[in-house]
Structure 1
Amino acid sequence: MSIQTKIGPVTDSLSALCDHIHSSSNCKHDKVPAVVKKLLSSWQAKECYDHISPVSIPSHAQVIDIVNQIRRILFPGYFTKTKLHASNIEYYIGKETTDLYEKMSEQITMAIRHDCRRHGQPCTACEQQSHQITLDFIEALPSVASVLASDIRSTLAGDPATDNPDEIIFSYPGLMATTIFRVAHELYELKVPIIPRIMTEYAHSLTGIDIHPGATIGPGLFIDHGTGVVIGETTIIGKNVRIYQGVTLGALSLPRDAGEKLRNMKRHPTIEDDVIIYANTTILGGDTVIGAGSIIGGNIWLTESVETGTRVLLKRPELIYSHPKKHD
């Protein structure tokens, strides 16, 4: 009796303080099934989008893993846990590249199969296609590495803030976005659905630099700082071009049905060799050509072509200075 007497008041005080005891009366689990039925009816009526299908869609996580694996191959020794030296480099690259082949062919198969079903196409021999595409892609990696080396050299030549290629490879967002773009562009050229865009949007999310995988970009690209750079699908950029933050290479105002009318048409500008485009400049239109060696100043809006060697600058704005009155 003495024990019960002691426990009783303690239990009563806990009941008064602890809201958990009363939680069952506040539970709303019974309301959830009605919401589920509404969701199902939306998908069945095709009002919303879903991917309820026996055909697998490529894995977003796997595609990102592939991007990181390709970076390890293109820049051996930079992003690896294994110490690389002359005696193990061939083994390491061979293992990474063989593993890449397996992962990439699987994801490309799913991408082709999904695209085939989505468009109601007859059998496209997706596995046979994917193995050939993957081999073609891997065979292109040496040339991709060579072009990226020219991008690094352009960065070293154009940026007085560094003289260290390691710093550029490890930390420059411009090079990361350019690397992923060059990888994605190879897949885009090989007609791989969806995967190239997953790759470049991953780069966009990390760096703030948005490059469509369909753009054509020559060697020696240097994107300085980079935040807010946008390069559209049909943009053509020549060799040794330098672009600063906030630059848009875009399309002119588009109609509501532009998706169908203007698909596969050139909508974005052409930037010829050795052009410099300074910060926050916008260049629009598929017929707009910036001639080789031109310099386009900051905060410019261009919708027409400029000749070779042109300098386009804003007139110096009128600045107003004000100072607080000095009291004696």
Structure 2
Amino acid sequence: MTRSAGGVPVTDALAALRSARHDWRTRHDAGHDPASFPSRGAMERVVELLAAALYPRRLGHFRGVPADEDSFVAAKLLAAVTELEREIAAELGYWQAEASSGRFDPDQPATIVRLFVAGLGDVRRLIDSDVEAAFLGDPAARSADEILVCYPGAIASLHHRIAHPLYELGAPIVARLVSELANERTGIDIHPGATIGASFFIDHGTGVVIGETAIIGERVRLYQHVTLGARTPRGDDPDRPRTRYARHPIVEDDVVIYAGATILGRVTIGQGAMIGGNVWLLDDVPAGRTVVQPEALVLDDAVGWRVREDLRDA
């Protein structure tokens, strides 16, 4: 009987695990190359290298003279794209096995990387706009550098600005790994498919969820525990949970959504609207409107609970 160092028998467990692996692979992995799947660890290195190239002084810790900065950035980029191309090739190999036919163009990973790198200037400017929005929107911030390095919303935005173009260029698993690294670090879950305009600010941020087909305009601010999600179909609904369609909210420019709000389905929140905390919303909101819970109660020592008159008609 096989035993571990602690004397615990493992023979039965080995057999059970072998059987479970076989059953899973029979259902899901037929024809797959075990090596053809992107590596989470590799993508973590790629994001670190890209962050250093995007922000050589603050995130890359470059301490040389300005004349040497381009050389530093070039080295980080070269290392990043070399590893990124390898991971994209692994993903395309995985999808090829999933399709069980044809073969992806061997030049496709390099093409995706080339197009991605060509857009890095725009990525940097979008991240800059997010950092500036946070600095303008949060009086507690002492500097833009503090936001870039410390704020979970800025960290999640940086990851999303990297992940979204990879998703659009045809590397959804690689992109999802980038977004999940941010989720693990910040508690903010932004699907890489979500489209987000400039000057996006997530204040505090823990528990924010933004779904795959969400569209967010410019200068939008979210607080913690906001969900931009999809409605779960009823059992008799022809749409099933895996049906792919535009199923998440559209949030137009200059919208503010306060903590705990849940907005579900393909609804539109009009420009300049404000959604109050803990609101459950399934319908469109016209531009400029404010949506709050119908009543707020306060405890009065003399009469107990009463409706606050100043909030009754808010």
TM-score, reference length from structure 1 = 0.84
Relative distance call for 1:277 and 1:122 in structure 2 (3 A) is same
Amino acid at match of 1:225: H
Kindly report which structure 2 residues correspond to 1:95-114, keeping only aligned pairs within 5 A, or say none: 95-114=75-94
- Aligned with 2:73 (options 93, 101, 105): 93
Matched-pair contact (CA < 8 Å) for 1:43–1:50: no
| 1:108-165 Cα deviation digits (max 9, x unpaired) | 111110121123131112x310001011111111000011111111111111111410
Match of 1:162 in 2: 141
| 1:185-222 Cα deviation digits (max 9, x unpaired) | 01000011311111111111110101000001000100
- Aligned with 1:123 (options 103, 119, 130): 103
Matched-pair contact (CA < 8 Å) for 2:33–2:97: no
Q: Which runs of 5+ in 1 are unaligned?
A: 1-23, 324-328
Q: Distance in 2 between matches of 1:275 and 1:244?
A: 11
* Root-mean-square deviation (Å): 2.2
Larger-gyration structure (1/2):
1
Matched-pair contact (CA < 8 Å) for 1:55–1:113: no
| 1:72-113 Cα deviation digits (max 9, x unpaired) | 111121123431431210111111111112111111111110
- Aligned with 1:183 (options 153, 162, 172): 162
Amino acid at match of 1:146: R
Which stretch of structure 1 is more off in the superposition, 53-62 or 302-311?
53-62
Matched-pair contact (CA < 8 Å) for 1:237–1:273: yes
Matched-pair contact (CA < 8 Å) for 2:49–2:79: no
- Aligned with 1:64 (options 44, 47, 53): 44
Q: Identity over the aligned pairs, expressed in percent? A: 36
Amino acid at match of 2:293: L
Amino acid at match of 1:42: A
- Aligned with 2:199 (options 208, 220, 229): 220
Amino acid at match of 2:292: L
Instruction: Say if 2:271 is the partner of 1:292.
Output: yes
Relative distance call for 1:131 and 1:300 in structure 2 (3 A) is same
- Aligned with 1:271 (options 229, 232, 251): 251
- Residue 182 of structure 1 and its aligned partner are, at CA, apart by 1.1
Q: Distance in 1 between matches of 2:14 and 2:28?
A: 14
Matched-pair contact (CA < 8 Å) for 1:210–1:228: yes
Matched-pair contact (CA < 8 Å) for 1:43–1:49: no
Match of 2:174 in 1: 195
Matched-pair contact (CA < 8 Å) for 2:152–2:204: yes
Q: Distance in 2 between matches of 1:187 and 1:283?
A: 27
Secondary structure of 1:234's match?
A: coil
- Aligned with 1:307 (options 282, 286, 289): 286
Which structure shows the bigger proportion of residues in helix conformation? 1
Relative distance call for 1:193 and 1:289 in structure 2 (3 A) is closer
Match of 2:17 in 1: 39
Matched-pair contact (CA < 8 Å) for 1:42–1:48: no
Amino acid at match of 1:119: A
Which stretch of structure 1 is more off in the superposition, 193-202 or 131-140?
193-202
Relative distance call for 1:147 and 1:120 in structure 2 (3 A) is same
- Residue 54 of structure 1 and its aligned partner are, at CA, apart by 4.6
Matched-pair contact (CA < 8 Å) for 2:229–2:263: yes
Q: Distance in 2 between matches of 1:309 and 1:54?
A: 53
Secondary structure of 1:283's match?
A: strand
Secondary structure of 2:83's match?
A: helix
- Number of matched residues? 294
- Residue 37 of structure 1 and its aligned partner are, at CA, apart by 1.8
Match of 1:12 in 2: none
| 1:33-89 Cα deviation digits (max 9, x unpaired) | 232122212222338988673543211101111111111111121123431431210
- Residue 258 of structure 1 and its aligned partner are, at CA, apart by 2.5
Matched-pair contact (CA < 8 Å) for 1:115–1:193: no
TM-score, reference length from structure 2 = 0.88
Relative distance call for 1:193 and 1:212 in structure 2 (3 A) is closer
